[in-house]
Amino acid sequence: MKILTLIFFLIFFTSCSNKETAKETNLQQVKYSFENILDYGNKDTLFIKSQFEDCGEWGGHNELIKIYRSERKIKLAYIKYKVDNCGERNNMGSIIQKKDITENLILSHSQQLGLMNYINALMKSRFLDKEISNSGNSFALSNVKGDLRFSYYGDHSLPLNNYNDLMAILKFPKVVIQNR
């Protein structure tokens, strides 16, 4: 009788562990990738547009990240502008910015994951408490098709920290806001 009970428990525990292994295998099969949302032939592109408060309530420098597929690879184009003088304006009244950095790269798997984590964090930032302020940083995600669009504006430090974490993963300079 003891042997029969032991065999029963052994079969029971073995069958339970197989179910757990099957569940883990199903979870491992989930594949998150930009390839799943970016069409071939540049039919869609993701944009991350950021504006920083270098000049207080008047704005500051812009940065643009473009994520797209080309030649079966996920690529990124990065443009950073700089503001030399917050008082210098164009005929439309906007602060004059000059192109500072332009980089193009093929994204590694870890860089793609970093971008996905940033996009997730940007989406979560919509749930932050609204702060009353005349100035702030702006972060926006959109696509060419127009069916993806969300943004954050404010002076909470978390979205800027998330953006700087992304810059570190992409090996671009972190944003340092120099109020002038």
For 107-125, write each residue's pLDDT tens digit: 999 999 999 999 999 998 8
Distance (Å, whole) CA 80 – CA 175: 10
Question: Residue 34: what pLDDT?
Answer: 75
Q: What pLDDT, on the 0 to 100 scale, is given for residue 157? A: 87
If we measure between CA atoms, which residue out of 46, 49, 47 comes closest to residue 138?
Answer: 49
| Cβ count within 10 A of residue 139 | 24
Whether the predicted pLDDT of 20 surpasses 60:
no
Rounded to an integer, the average pLDDT of 134-162 is 87
Angle between helices 157-170 and 109-125 (to 10 degrees): 170
| pLDDT score for 146 | 83
Q: What is the Cα–Cα distance from 22 to 31, expressed in whole angstroms? A: 17
Which of 2-11, 73-82, 152-161 is predicted least confidently? Answer: 2-11
| pLDDT band per the 50, 70, 90 thresholds, residue 148 | confident
Q: Name the pTM for this structure.
A: 0.78
Q: Tens of pLDDT along 65-93?
A: 999 988 889 999 999 999 988 888 888 88
pLDDT of residue 59: 82
Q: What would the mean pLDDT of 151-176 be, rounded to a whole number?
A: 92
pLDDT over 70, % of the chain: 76
pLDDT of 129 = 72
Residues 6 or more apart whose Cβ sits within 8 Å of residue 108:
none
- 37-68: string of b/e by CB count within 10 Å (b at 16+)? ebeeeeebbbbbebbbbbbeebbbbbbebbbb
Mean pLDDT of the chain: 82
155 against 79, higher pLDDT: 79
